[in-house]
């Protein structure tokens, strides 16, 4: 019963991240990034941590979110972020494409629907901003590929890239019609 009530509350709360969330977003990224990529990235990758592990990175991002960019948080019953999504214009492709730059849900909160909510809400908002298609790049070896496939993404692109200082193979998942897929999918962001 407790678990059910907690889950209901968590599932309702996807909000725009605020400056006061910087510490928590860094914690979400740090914990989840380590869990997700241990065994995939070489050990050396964990000696020099990504900037997103530091609160200062998120403080800077949240101080001025550029137009057409967004940072969303999934929050727990205490209003603390336990998941995050960052999106903006596609860094490598067409002008009317949105890219999901980051999607991280803390290990204890995975498989509760938060990743789906964050992705759906991010792409819905990007569609409302004028983007017609969406893409996310993931490590080809990562477990998250199953998640993107479950959410209807098509593995249309491959590339070799350098991520966190290391050569990796990446797969690009594409949603060609954000309007059809996400426009009515998610309710409006929860008030905070």
Ligand X SMILES: CC(C)(COP(=O)(O)OP(=O)(O)OC[C@H]1O[C@@H](n2cnc3c(N)ncnc32)[C@H](O)[C@@H]1OP(=O)(O)O)[C@@H](O)C(=O)NCCC(=O)NCCS
Contacts with ligand X by CB under 6 A lie at: 32, 36, 103-105, 110-116, 136, 138, 142-144, 146-147, 150
Identify which of residues 64 and 167 has a Cβ nearer to ligand X in the complex. 167
Pick 55 or 113: Cβ nearer ligand X: 113
Task: Give the nearest distance from C-beta 116 to ligand X in angstroms.
Answer: 3
Choose between 51 and 63: whose C-beta lies nearer to ligand X: 51
Cβ 137 to ligand X shortest distance, Å: 7
Long-range contacts of 7-13 (CB under 8 A, 24+ apart): 7/112, 9/76, 9/77, 10/74, 10/75, 10/76, 10/77, 10/82, 10/109, 10/112, 10/114, 11/112, 11/113, 11/114, 11/117, 12/190, 13/74, 13/75, 13/76, 13/79, 13/190
| Nearest-approach distance from CB 154 to ligand X, in angstroms | 15
Instruction: Name which of 114 and 178 has its Cβ closer to ligand X.
Output: 114
Q: Cβ of residue 70: shortest distance to ligand X, in angstroms?
A: 16
């Amino acid at each position: 019963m407790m678990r059910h009530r907690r889950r209901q509350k968590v599932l309702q709360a996807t909000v725009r991240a605020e400056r006061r969330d910087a510490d928590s977003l860094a914690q979400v990224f740090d914990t989840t990034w380590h869990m997700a990529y241990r065994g995939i990235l070489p050990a050396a990758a964990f000696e020099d941590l990504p900037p997103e592990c530091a609160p200062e990175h998120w403080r800077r991002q949240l101080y001025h979110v550029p137009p057409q960019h967004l940072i969303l948080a999934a929050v727990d019953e205490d209003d603390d972020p336990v998941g995050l999504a960052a999106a903006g214009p596609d860094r490598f492709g067409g002008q009317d494409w949105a890219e999901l730059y980051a999607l991280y849900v803390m290990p204890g909160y995975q498989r509760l629907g938060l990743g789906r909510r964050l992705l759906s809400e991010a792409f819905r908002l990007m569609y409302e901003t004028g983007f017609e298609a969406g893409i996310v790049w993931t490590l080809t070896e990562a477990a998250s590929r199953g998640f993107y496939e479950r959410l209807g993404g098509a593995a249309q692109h491959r590339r070799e890239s350098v991520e966190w200082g290391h050569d990796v193979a990446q797969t690009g998942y594409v949603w060609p019609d954000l309007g059809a897929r996400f426009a009515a999918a998610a309710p409006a962001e929860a008030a905070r």
